[in-house]
Chains A and B, each alone.
Chain A
Amino acid sequence: MAAIEATSRTLISRAQLNRPVGRAVYWSTLSVLIVLFALVFLFPLYWMATGGLKSAQEIIQIPPTLFPSHPHPSNYSTAWSEADLGRLLWNTTLYAAGALAFQLVFDVGAAYAFSKLRPAFGNVIMFAMMATMMIPTAVLALPAYLTANNIPFLHWSLLNTPWVIWLPSVASNAFNILLLKRFFDSIPGELLAAASIDGAGPMRALWSVILPMSRPILGVVSIFAVVNVWKDFLWPLLVLTNTSAETVNTGLNQLSVGIPENVLIAALAIACVPTILFFLVFQRNIMSGLTAGSLKG
């Protein structure tokens, strides 16, 4: 009811919009906005994609050409091999997939324990986890790096291994546990009691009762997990120093010195393709997840 009201009446009333002046203003604003959005958000992509096709001379030519006069698709193949983009994209995918798996398993486990199993001092542990949301990630970078380089008691170094992305990703996303816990709280305890009478243990109850009901929130958490790994820069810069272990972000940063401009731009264009495709495919989920996540805290 409220939603219909809200969509039917916004800032400007329908009557005002339907007046000739209102209509003229509306249509001109709309067309200006459409052009403006295309210029601001699409043109840089176009500039990048065509810049990658230009020759070294053409890219610095004045006035610039809107479309390359002699397209050099070879820039793209040079960029692919020179930047070793396949490796960068594969590495980042591996890190993101692992971070997603670890976060799903560990976060769901913890949220389930906090919400339904409620062991003694569970709320104290939960509070200690939520308190980390107050710590800026940049502050922890140095001590976390030192810890990853020399794990207490075991004296292993996780640097340049996927573990150094996977395990900290759980600790840096306390918010996901909170989201899951809140969702689990809304699942009635009677359902679990019924499952327990039927002889289901806590694992079975989680798997067959809770998880099937939690698909939407699991989707939100998954998207956060993947996007965070894909966008992170400072942490991979510190802990993935081997060229063979770099992510897209740190690899491109490394590459940006001492490579011809047009080849670099071709490399950037290629690097943008996977995530933009990912976004176009999961558009709906990402956007609804975003508004659910906006009430962080």
Chain B
Amino acid sequence: MATSTINVSAVTAYEARAAARARRRKVPLGRRLRRHGTGYLFMLGAVICFALFSWYPMIREVIMSFQRTNFAGDTSWVGLQNYRHIFADPGFWAAWRTSGLFTLFALVFGFVVPFLIAVVLNEMRHAKAYFRLLVYIPVMMPTVAAALVWRWFYSADDTGMFNQILTALHLPNVQWLQSSPMLAVLCLVLFSTWINMGGAVLIYLAALQGVPGDLYEAAELDGAGALKRIWHVTVPQVKLILSLMLMLQIISTMQVFLEPYVITRGSNNTISVVYQIYQYAFSFNNYGDASALGIILLLVLMVFSAFYLKLARSVEED
């Protein structure tokens, strides 16, 4: 009995497959081509844009990193010479140091602060709309306008707001951007955190809404205080979104350009990796070195983006 059912179902499956094949064959070639053709037509615009501004430039970047272009625009193959050249450039290590320092400070401020703010805001029963609105306002300002305002805040003389505050408190003025490179980078990170925080806070707030209340209840019954509850309940519950944001942030802060370009103009050792690429390419017209540095940056960030995509996939599966 059982075997015959299997046989029958196998036969019907075989027949169904054959019928499907026959049906497919019956669709005239012309119509089938037209269906594919319509599909290609709909994606044509996007394909052209990607080909021109993503796929082709990516290939070109790799090729250029092994080439040298002279002033007449002629190119010649130079093998790994560009790479050797930038490794020997002291600016190369200084740029990585700046970008690395920026990323590190941004982890402390730009990553931890928005999460803590979101946790506290999530406890507030009043003025919710007010907090959400205010924290997002800087995100909507034109970035350069905000950066120039902060450059003015950081002014070394008494015109800067921060120094005016210090003066009002009878404290000595600080050379925010001009004294130590470390402090200068920290100032850039503070600005960057201020302007970018809104998005992260709102995303965390949305994630926190999904933490089940009974987990807190249970933890509280077990005698866990508020801080312990944050660490053992909140953090594990939103761990995936936290790690996603972490990866995204590392990827974007490693590409920092606007802050040093507009606020410090690269002075005081604040030239970042992307700033260095920009200088190689557009100040020294050295496309080979610029491309080689770009490829190294790509490889470094590839590790993070691969990890990020893996995380994103597991978030989706949840």
Q: Interface of A with B (CB < 8 Å)?
A: 2-3, 5-13, 26, 29-30, 33-34, 37-38, 40-42, 44-45, 47-48, 51, 59-60, 62-64, 102, 105-107, 109-110, 112-114, 117-120, 122, 125, 128-129, 132-144, 146-148, 151-152, 167-168, 170-172, 174, 177, 202, 206, 227, 230-231, 233-234, 238, 248-250, 252-253, 256, 261, 264-265, 268, 271-272, 275-276, 278-280, 283, 286-287, 290-291, 294-297
Set of chain A residues within 8 Å of B159, measured between Cβ atoms: 59-60, 261
With contacts A33-B131, A135-B54, A146-B60 taken as known, whether A7 is within 8 angstroms of B209 at the C-beta atoms is yes
- Bound-state CA distance A12–B233 (Å) is 12
A-contact bits for B289-318, CB 8 A (1 contact / 0 none)? 011001101100110011011011101100
A281 to B49, CA, bound (A): 31
Per a CB cutoff under 8 Å, which of A29, A113, A261, A290 touches B43? A113
Choose one: A139, A271, A294; the contact of B294 (CB below 8 Å).
A139
Asked if B97 lies at the interface with its beta carbon under 8 angstroms from chain A, I say no
> What are 13 A-B contacts defined by CB distance under 8 Å?
A11-B229, A13-B216, A60-B158, A63-B167, A106-B46, A110-B47, A146-B57, A147-B57, A167-B48, A233-B258, A275-B142, A287-B202, A295-B316
| A118 to B39 Cα, complex, angstroms | 6
A133 to B126, CA, bound (A): 39
B213 within 8 A of A: yes
CB distance from B249 to the nearest CB of A (A): 12
The 9 closest A-B CB pairs, nearest first, are A297-B312, A9-B213, A119-B39, A143-B57, A117-B39, A106-B45, A110-B46, A170-B49, A171-B53
- B167 contacts A294, CB within 8 Å? no
A147:B60 contact, CB within 8 angstroms: yes
B119 at the interface (CB under 8 A from A): yes
CA distance A129 to B211 in the complex (A): 35
B224-253 toward A: CB 8 Å interface, digit per residue (1/0)?
001001100110000001001100100100
Given contacts A11-B234, A168-B49, 19 further A-B contacts (CB under 8 A): A5-B214, A10-B123, A33-B131, A34-B130, A59-B159, A107-B46, A110-B45, A110-B47, A129-B46, A134-B309, A135-B58, A136-B255, A138-B274, A140-B54, A141-B277, A143-B58, A171-B53, A271-B145, A297-B312
Stretch from B2-10, B11-19, B132-140, B176-184 contacting the other chain: B132-140
CA distance A42 to B141 in the complex (A): 12
> Hey, which chain B residues are within 8 Å of A134, CB to CB?
302, 305-306, 309
- With contacts A62-B158, A275-B140 taken as known, whether A144 is within 8 angstroms of B313 at the C-beta atoms is no
CB distance from A250 to the nearest CB of B (A): 7
B123 touches A12 (CB 8 A): yes
Instruction: Compute how far the CA of A9 lies from the CA of B229 in the bound complex, rounded to whole angstroms.
Output: 13
Q: How far is the CA of A150 from the CA of B13 in the complex (A)?
A: 57
Main secondary structure of the interface of A (DSSP, over half): helix
Could you tell me if B46 and A45 are in contact, using CB atoms closer than 8 angstroms? Answer: no
A-B contact count (CB 8 A): 312
Residues 86-116 of B at the A interface (beta carbon under 8 Å) = none
Instruction: Tell me the smallest distance from the CB of A245 to a CB of chain B, in Å.
Output: 16
Q: Which residue of B lies closest to A256 (CB)?
A: B148
**A202 near B38: Cβ-Cβ < 8 Å:** yes
Closest residue of A by beta carbon distance from B313 = A297
Task: Tell whether, in the assembled complex, residue A276 and residue B141 are in contact, meaning their CB atoms are under 8 Å apart.
Answer: yes
Closest CB-CB distance, A247 to chain B, in whole Å? 8
Q: For chain B residues 153-173, which have a beta carbon within 8 Å of chain A?
A: 153, 157-159, 161, 164, 167-168
Tell whether, in the assembled complex, residue A42 and residue B134 are in contact, meaning their CB atoms are under 8 Å apart: yes
Given contacts A119-B35, A278-B140, is CB(A109)–CB(B130) below 8 Å? no
Q: Does B226 lie within 8 Å of A11, measured CB to CB?
A: yes
A164's nearest neighbour on chain B, judged by CB, is B53
Q: Are B53 and A167 in contact (CB under 8 A)?
A: yes
A252 to B151, CA, bound (A): 13
A1→B306 CA distance, assembly (Å): 36
**Min C-beta distance of B99 to chain A, whole Å:** 11
> Does the CB pair A117–B42 fall under 8 Å?
yes
Contact present for B144 and A140 (CB under 8 Å): no
Query: In the docked arrangement, what's the CA distance between A22 and B67, Å?
Result: 68
Q: Which residue of B lies closest to A251 (CB)?
A: B144
The reply to whether B255 and A233 form a contact with Cβ atoms under 8 Å apart is: no
CA distance A88 to B161 in the complex (A): 28
Quick one: closest B residue to A41, CB to CB? B134
Q: Which of B38, B49, B119, B294 contacts A167 (CB 8 A)?
A: B49
The answer to whether A249 and B143 have CB atoms under 8 Å apart is yes
* B174 on the A face (CB < 8 A): no
